[in-house]
Amino acid sequence: VITKLAAYELLAQERP
Partner 1 sequence: GDFIPLRSDWISLFYDTGHKVTSDDGSQYAFRAITTRGEYLWLVFSAGKTRGYHAETTCPHSAFAEAREALTYRRAVKSRWDDVRAVARALRRGKLRFDVLIEDAMESPLCAMGTRHFLRSFGLSGIKRISGFKLAWMMLIEPQLGFVIYQAALREGVLS
| Residues near partner 1, by CB under 8 A | 1-2, 4, 6-8, 10-12, 14-16
- In order of 1, 15, the CA distances from 9 in angstroms are 15, 10
In the complex, least distance from residue 11 CB atom to partner 1, rounded to whole angstroms: 4
In the complex, least distance from residue 2 CB atom to partner 1, rounded to whole angstroms: 5
Q: What is the DSSP string of 1-16?
A: ---HHHHHHHHHHH--
In the complex, least distance from residue 3 CB atom to partner 1, rounded to whole angstroms: 9
